[in-house]
Amino acid sequence: MRPLRRAWLCALAGLAPFGAAQAQDAPALRLRSLVATCAQCHGTDGRPAPDSIVPALAGLPEATLIERMSAFKDGTLSATVMTQLARGFSEAQIRQLATAFAAQAR
Amino acid sequence: MKRVRGMQRRDVLKAATAGVLGLAGCATNGRGTPESARVLVVGGGYAGATAAKYLRLFSGHRLDVVLIEPDAAFMSCPLSNLVLGGNRTMADITVPYTGLVQAHGVRVVRDSVAHVDVVRRVAELASSARIHYDKLVLAPGVEMIWDGVAGLREASAAGRIVQAWKAGPETVLLRRQLEAMPDGGTFAIAIPEAPYRCPPAPYERACLVANYFKTAKPRSKVLVLDANEDVTSKGPLFKKAWAEAYPGIVEYRPQYKATGVDAVAGIVMFEVQDDERADVLNVLPPMRAGALAVQTGLANANARWCGVDFLTFESTAARHIHVLGDSIQIAPAMPKSGHMANSQAKVAAAAIVAELSGWEVNPAPMLTNTCYSFLDDRRAVHVASVHEYVSAERTFKTVPGSGGLSGAASELEGRYAWNWARTIWADVLS
């Protein structure tokens, strides 16, 4: 059973495009957890469903992400939902999220 | 796909007969997640399926994750009222489990759990196979408290008064009852006292049935009989829709607590008021944690809901068991919603991976929630919130100043609602 399972997992690794994003230590896991709070609407790791009218976040420049989230937070950018959600995240969290999404492949 | 699933099933059974796989699996060398630890996830809804996927993602595909789910595919409760309204079909809200298997290496077993031995950490399946776990994630949804409304258990079993509170065959049956109802008839929905699964759903259902009646059966009525003092979610938005879009169709009556039904006569009885007769009845009894959670002794809050440590979602009644989704005793302002269940699952998955890896559990987890309700086939409204763990109180609270409701219903939000659905389904299952 053991060798079989390993072979099967290796086969899977070839299919999985996100191996590099695995949490390798506690801080990385925490960051992935924070990133996952955006995934319901923006997709796992910031890649939404095809033809999404909500933007992909993966691969956006860090400065753009910080600027938009801050603008939602202070209300200078209007939205149906994002103004309300952005106010739930601290500036430090917004910076962490921006760094993480900027590092994701599109 | 069938062949793959069959292989996985045998694999699980093999592991089960081997008996001890994972027993020694908790040892960690401090350098990462152990490959031999097994997490068994019971229930493939928004909570369980998300937990299964994210346990694999967060552990770098190291953990052995087995998902036990009796249904062949995921059927979404959110948006299922559009099936009742005749605007969509079940196929539109059904997603296969194959993505979890093929893209994430979750072992999906089509079965259910009959019994959990919390001491030996063994789950016994309905098929009588036994599976050992290092960590168990229970996401069994809600169970109806049939004794809360006399005669309802029998009426539901006979298919006369169905609840359709889990998307599936009952959704289709209730739709057929609405289609068969003559013009001039009455659809009555009876709502239990909160907390129940998905607070705004009964009111959305009233809107979408009314929207169907408005064009197909214009002399018909929707009677909303609510055990609560007022509409429990998005109140002003629903009331505005009833007054402006459905005048003379929807009638809302608060403080109507159903106590019994007569399915043959089509009658609901109430604690205080006179009986009401309707052509199609949708009587929702009070709800509690899913049966398996209750049987396992985890429903330690009022014997209804499962208390959890909100940092990890581990049960306060049993070690190594994490309870997610609609079964839990909620934190303040935490809705029993699909989006929230998905959020909880990610916090729990990260906590389980951290614990099995010998890392400190995240001391400041966050949850988000966005819940859309349709007021007709195109226009929707939302409620959104952000929740942070408050360590001093050991619970989640909404972040001050965050969250809120739609200003008004719009077609834009209707498009966002479908976009949310497609994307969260992928986040849960693909």
Q: Give B353 to chain A, closest Cα distance, Å.
A: 9
Q: Is B337 on the interface with A (CB under 8 A)?
A: no
Q: Are B401 and A87 inside 8 Å of each other by CB?
A: yes
B403 chain-A contacts, CB cut-off 8 A: 84-85, 87-88
pLDDT of A2 reads: 39
Q: Tell me which of B10-14, B265-269, B337-341 is least confident.
A: B10-14
What is the percent of chain B with per-residue pLDDT over 70, rounded to a whole number?
93
CA atoms of B268 and B148, how far apart (whole Å) = 13
Classify the complex by whether its ipTM is higher than 0.95, answering yes or no.
no
Are B346 and B52 within 8 A, CB to CB? Answer: no
Q: Is the pLDDT of residue B266 over 50?
A: yes
Are B95 and B425 within 8 A, CB to CB? Answer: yes
CA atoms of B163 and B154, how far apart (whole Å) = 12
Nearest to B349 by CA among A54, A69, A35: A35
Per-residue pLDDT tens over the stretch B77-97: 999 999 999 999 999 999 999
Are B110 and B134 within 8 A, CB to CB? Answer: no
Q: Are A89 and B386 inside 8 Å of each other by CB?
A: yes
In terms of C-beta density within 10 A (0-12 exposed, 13-18 middle, 19 or more buried), how is residue B20 classed? exposed
A84 chain-B contacts, CB cut-off 8 A: 384-385, 402-404
Q: Give A57 to chain B, closest Cα distance, Å.
A: 13
In terms of C-beta density within 10 A (0-12 exposed, 13-18 middle, 19 or more buried), how is residue A44 classed? buried
Contacts of B242 (CB under 8 A, 6+ apart): B206, B207, B210, B250, B252
Per-residue pLDDT tens over the stretch A45-59: 999 999 999 999 999
Per-residue pLDDT tens over the stretch B140-192: 999 999 999 999 999 999 999 999 999 999 999 999 999 999 999 999 999 99
Nearest chain A alpha carbon to B413: A80
Per-residue pLDDT tens over the stretch B311-355: 999 999 999 999 999 999 999 999 999 999 999 999 999 999 999
What is the percent of chain A with per-residue pLDDT over 90, rounded to a whole number?
75
Give residue B114's identity as a one-letter amino acid code.
A
Are B140 and B289 within 8 A, CB to CB? Answer: yes
Are B220 and B181 within 8 A, CB to CB? Answer: yes
Per-residue pLDDT, averaged over B267-274, amounts to 97
Q: Give A39 to chain B, closest Cα distance, Å.
A: 7
CA atoms of B10 and B20, how far apart (whole Å) = 16
3-state SS of chain B?
CHHHHHHHHHHHHHHHHHCCCCCCCCCCCCCCCCCCCEEEEECCCHHHHHHHHHHHHHCCCCCEEEEECCCCEEECCCCCHHHHCCCCCHHHHEEECHHHHHCCCCEEECCCEEEEECCCCEEEECCCCEEECCEEEECCCEEECHHHCECHHHHHHCCCCCCCCCCCHHHHHHHHHHHHCCCCCEEEEEECCCCCCCCCHHHHHHHHHHHHHHHHCCCCEEEEEECCCCCCCCHHHHHHHHHHCCCCCEEEECCCCEEEEECCCCEEEECCCCCEECCEEEECCCEEECHHHHHCCCCCECCCEECEECCCCEECCCCCEEECHHHECCCCCCCCCHHHHHHHHHHHHHHHHHHHHCCCCCCCCEEEEEEEEECCCCCEEEEEEEEEEECCCCEEEECCCCCEECCCCEHHHHHHHHHHHHHHHHHHHC
